[in-house]
């Protein structure tokens, strides 16, 4: 059984007693509590005294989820900033904004005293967070925990399944049930600090008229008057081509996560044309940055793209008759991203470079080729045009896409290759089938297309991608696809292998109905 809607709603509404103010002070206390309780949950889970919460670490996402367990109202990211009408929809539940820099003692920057901010509950050392030894006294002195112990515990256990038979129990039994559940989730010092006494619990439940428990977990997302508190941005309702919707168990995402956890700073998505390289780079990036496109930058390399376009260059700023210099150095794409990342070190910033080898990467990166390496991050060096001293932040990751089989591009030199881990994307029957099913193609046609796809990849020297069929639904789509795209691709691919071309063409013709086979040129 689960806590009833009435019990949860009453607890939520009374958590406002944590602070009587109607603004920053209460939000700061809720913020401190959610980080403390999430840390306690991970410490209990990992059976350790400190947890590694660095960006990219294995426990970082678990920490964010644990914070959500404290404040989330629903699974879409809506959460309470102050247990009142101040709500937000960040997918990171506020972990990324200022957690490492200001919320912990011995913070990454310095110990800063903010007006209205309560004392720290956690301690930071080398990206590892632990609970301060005087936490119980701090909760009492700075957070007003004594006034909301019962309410907080009921709220924290709102998603828990209790092993009870009757829907209404005595206050003593309810106290024991709460303590037992807290012991299963949190460290002993936190359980001791937030557990209510029998009297506190009795006073709270005396105002609850209905049952304490229900058979099914209730929907409590309405308890904060959501319709009144959230103003919807119409722009956010527009369907996006690339939304942050990659599943947690996606193989490519999990590979990238493992590489980043082990210190990778550059990842190269490589494979034949049509194998979703750019799609995966964008989808994985959006998932890592939790859909915040302010943390994403994209460029495309090409033969005319230079160091002056990517790092810094001289731009005209004056006239020949003026007193100002005619040219001044200006930061370009990569330096601008470095500046943003340096001011927000709690979060990863991702640069996506499409068509990586269509330019000359070694010339485009210049002296930065050394400093994008993990071991040389945060090391100062001097730029040639501006002569200013900079460093590359640790929280910048580079994703690049490249078709290694395209003969019109340069080969990467060994120095550049050494700075990137490679994720190879190959033609996939499973993805092809999924694309065709999503387009409503019938099963018989899908079977014929897969047969052609396998034939093409068996004969192709470097592979033939699945995305060529994206969006094709009707027979006319498949006719146009061959006559105006695939025909020319395979003619070039099998320029000196006429038999291979004929076999591929015939396999494609088999997809088309008898009445329309002559439409294939």
201 pLDDT exceeds 90?
no
Q: What does the pLDDT read at residue 123?
A: 86
Q: In which band, very low, low, confident or very high, does the pLDDT at 319 lie, cut at 50, 70 and 90?
A: low
Query: How large a percentage of the chain has pLDDT more than 90?
Result: 45
Write the pLDDT tens digit of every residue in 234-261: 333 233 445 777 888 889 999 999 999 8
Q: Quote the CA–CA distance of 485 and 470 in Å, as a whole number.
A: 13
The secondary structure of 122-133 as a DSSP string is EEEETTEEEE-T
Q: Say which residue the tokens 């960006």 belong to.
A: 55
Write the pLDDT tens digit of every residue in 133-191: 889 999 988 888 888 999 999 999 999 998 888 887 887 888 889 999 999 999 999 99
pTM: 0.56
User: Mind spelling out the 3-state secondary structure of 244-284?
Assistant: CCCCCCCHHHHHHHHHHHCCCCEEEEECCCCCCHHHHHHHH
Among candidates 301, 409, 426, which has minimal Cα distance to 351? Answer: 301
Q: Say which residue the tokens 């559940």 belong to.
A: 181
Q: Return the structure tokens found at 168.
A: 């209404």
Q: What is the CA radius of gyration of the chain?
A: 29
50 pLDDT exceeds 80?
yes
Q: Quote the CA–CA distance of 500 and 486 in Å, as a whole number.
A: 14
Q: What does the pLDDT read at residue 241?
A: 47
Q: Quote the CA–CA distance of 132 and 206 in Å, as a whole number.
A: 35
* Residues contacting residue 448 through CB under 8 Å, at least 6 positions apart: 510, 511
- φ, ψ of residue 345 to 5 degrees: the values are -75, -5
Contact 204, 151 (CB under 8 A): yes
Mean pLDDT across the chain: 84
* Residues contacting residue 143 through CB under 8 Å, at least 6 positions apart: 18, 29, 32, 33, 118
Q: Quote the CA–CA distance of 445 and 7 in Å, as a whole number.
A: 56
Q: What does the pLDDT read at residue 311?
A: 94
Write the pLDDT tens digit of every residue in 7-27: 898 888 888 888 766 666 778
105 pLDDT exceeds 70?
no
Q: What does the pLDDT read at residue 227?
A: 34
């Amino acid at each position: 059984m689960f806590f009833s809607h009435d019990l949860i709603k009453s607890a939520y509404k009374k958590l406002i007693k944590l602070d009587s103010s109607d603004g920053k002070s209460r939000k700061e206390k809720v913020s401190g509590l959610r980080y403390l309780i999430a840390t306690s949950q991970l410490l209990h889970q990992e059976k350790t005294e400190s947890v590694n919460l660095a960006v990219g670490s294995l426990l970082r996402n678990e920490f964010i989820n644990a914070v959500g367990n404290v404040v989330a109202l629903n699974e879409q990211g809506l959460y309470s900033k102050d247990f009142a009408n101040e709500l937000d929809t960040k997918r990171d539940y506020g972990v990324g904004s200022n957690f490492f820099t200001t919320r912990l003692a011995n913070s990454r920057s310095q110990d800063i005293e903010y007006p209205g901010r309560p004392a720290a509950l956690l301690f930071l050392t080398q990206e590892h967070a632990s609970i301060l030894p005087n936490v119980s006294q701090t909760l009492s002195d700075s957070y007003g925990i004594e006034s909301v112990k019962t309410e907080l515990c009921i709220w924290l256990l709102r998603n828990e399944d209790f092993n009870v038979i009757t829907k209404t129990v005595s206050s003593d039994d309810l106290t024991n049930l709460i303590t037992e559940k807290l012991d299963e989730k949190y460290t002993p010092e936190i359980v001791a600090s937030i557990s209510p006494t029998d009297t506190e619990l009795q006073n709270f439940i005396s105002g609850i008229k209905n049952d304490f428990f229900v058979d099914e977990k209730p929907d409590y997302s309405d308890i904060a008057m959501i319709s009144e508190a959230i103003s919807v941005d119409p722009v956010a309702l527009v369907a996006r081509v690339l939304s942050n919707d990659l599943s947690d168990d996606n193989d490519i995402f999990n590979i990238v996560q493992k590489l980043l956890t082990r210190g990778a700073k550059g990842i190269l998505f490589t494979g034949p044309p049509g194998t979703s390289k750019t799609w995966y780079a964008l989808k994985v990036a959006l998932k890592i940055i939790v859909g915040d496109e302010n943390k994403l930058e994209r460029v495309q390399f090409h033969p005319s793209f230079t160091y002056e376009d990517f790092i810094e260059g001289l731009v005209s700023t004056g006239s020949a008759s003026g007193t100002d210099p005619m040219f001044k150095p200006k930061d370009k794409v990569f330096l601008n991203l470095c500046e943003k990342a340096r001011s927000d070190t709690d979060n990863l910033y991702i640069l996506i470079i499409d068509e990586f080898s269509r330019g000359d990467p070694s010339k485009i990166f210049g002296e930065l080729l050394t400093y994008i390496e993990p071991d040389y991050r945060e090391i100062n060096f001097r730029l040639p045009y501006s002569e200013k001293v900079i460093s590359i932040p640790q929280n910048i990751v580079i994703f690049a896409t490249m078709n290694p089989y395209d003969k019109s591009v340069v080969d990467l030199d060994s120095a550049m290759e050494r700075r990137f881990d490679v994720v190879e994307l190959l033609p996939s029957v499973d993805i092809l089938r999924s694309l065709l099913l999503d387009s409503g193609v019938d099963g018989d046609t899908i079977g014929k297309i897969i047969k052609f796809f396998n034939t093409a990849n068996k004969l192709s020297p470097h592979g033939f991608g699945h995305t060529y069929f994206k969006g094709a639904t009707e027979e006319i789509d498949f006719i146009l696809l061959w006559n105006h795209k695939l025909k020319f691709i395979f003619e070039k691919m099998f320029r000196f292998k006429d038999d291979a071309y004929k076999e591929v063409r015939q396999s494609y013709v088999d997809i088309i109905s008898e009445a329309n086979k002559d439409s294939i040129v």
